[in-house]
Structure 1
Amino acid sequence: MSHDDSLTRLMRHVLKLHRHSVDLMIQKYDVFPGQPPLLMRLSERDGQSQKELADSMLIKPPTLTVMINRMEKTGLVERKPDPDDQRVSRVYLTGKGRQAAAGVREALQVLEAKCFEHFSPEEKMLFRRLLWQVRDDLETFQRHFKDE
């Protein structure tokens, strides 16, 4: 099999197309690439600490800080000190951020429907199971390297 035919290359290409499509659909909300996961996490549970957000997004705290700073400038989020521990900063969606999160959620639903419009319910179920298996295999693989 040539490099052009590899499953990994195809998967990477599909993921890039998906992310680019999301980015195109949400740019009207002042949401930039990489920011949708933060919006979704805050829409599910507003007021998380920066550490909680970085851990759940699997990114380093300095990366999250840059993202939050940018989102504060566009009016999507705001930071407030934790009432019980002033050393902890909590991140909250603004009204504009809640609207953007709703727009992102809708864009993701539209895109998911488009991506799988030619799949039968059984094919979607099989594809989900196969992706879970790839995820589990990669997590096991990474744990192996962390344990060494």
Structure 2
Amino acid sequence: MSTMTESTRATEEPDHPPRLPEPRIIYLVKRVELIARAQLDQITREHGLTTPQYTALSVLRAQPGLSAAQLSRRSFVSPQAMTEMVGALETKGMISRHPDPENRRVLRAYLTDDGRAALEACDRGADLLEEHMLRDVTPQDTTALRRALSACASGLGPLEGTDTARL
């Protein structure tokens, strides 16, 4: 005698496959990040930069005169990696560094004309990449996506009061 109910059998039959859960948003964000990063790596490579270097140059455009330590925090790389990156960008002629007038041990970084030109070339490629990525997204949804992702980034502080071992 079978204990399966009619509804149980219906969901296990081939013409009624089990309903899969929606993918996690963190999975979708990571998937977009990996695809976009691979394409951005190709764009920046065509202009003699790496994606982290492009990020650092973008940060310097918005905030000229940062120290390597400040630049590392704003560019999402370790201070050690930024020290190497700043040296490479200076060697390539993309940035120049000058001592801080108040603390001569601190070197402030600035874009050079070559750095600005490379940054603008990469920007054009990044613009095309974003246009391609968002081609099936309405302008209203693009605005909502930007707002939602910014809110998500703001909300990702430390998980205070949460037992992360259980996560």
TM over 0.5: yes
Q: Which one of 10, 20, 31 corresponds to residue 13 of structure 1?
A: 31
Q: In the alignment, what sits opposite 1:30?
A: 48
Distance change in 2, residues 1:143/1:79 (3 Å): farther
Over aligned residue pairs, what C-alpha RMSD do you find?
2.3
Measure, in 2, the Cα distance between the counterparts of 1:132 and 1:48: 24
State yes or no: 1:68 paired with 2:117: no
**Correspondence for 1:138:** 156
1:67 Cα deviation from its structure 2 partner: 1.2
- Which one-letter code corresponds to 1:69 in the other structure? G
List aligned pairs for 1:76-95, cutoff 5 A.
76-95=94-113
- TM superposition shift of 1:65: 0.4
Q: Relative to structure 1, is the Cα distance of residues 24 and 94 closer, same or farther in structure 2, using a 3 angstrom cutoff?
A: same
Please report the TM-score for the alignment, with normalisation by the length of structure 1: 0.81
SS of the equivalent of 1:34 reads helix
Asked if 1 retains the 8 angstrom alpha-carbon contact of 2:44 and 2:51, the reply is no
* Greater RCO, CA 8 A, separation 6+: 1
**How far did 1:46 drift?**
2.2
Give the TM-score normalised by the residue count of structure 2. 0.73
Structure-2 change in CA distance of 1:45 and 1:138 (3 Å): closer
AA matched with 1:66: E
Residues of 1 paired with 2:143 and 2:111: CA distance?
34
Once residues 132 and 45 of structure 1 are traced to their aligned partners in structure 2, the CA distance between those partners, rounded to angstroms, is 20
Structure 1 residue 59, shift from structure 2 partner? 3.4
CA–CA separation in structure 2 for the residues paired with 1:10 and 1:109: 21
Q: Residues of 2 paired with 1:14 and 1:58: CA distance?
A: 18
2:60·2:111 contact (CA, 8 Å) conserved in 1?
Answer: yes
Asked which structure has the greater CA Rg, the reply is 2
User: How many positions carry a matched residue from both structures?
Assistant: 142
Return the structure number with greater helix share. 1
- Percent of residue pairs bearing the same amino acid type: 25
Moved over 6 A (4+): none
**Residue 49 of structure 1 contacts residue 90 of structure 1 at CA under 8 Å; is this kept in 2?**
yes
Aligned residue for 1:40? 58
The alignment partner of 1:92 has SS state of: strand
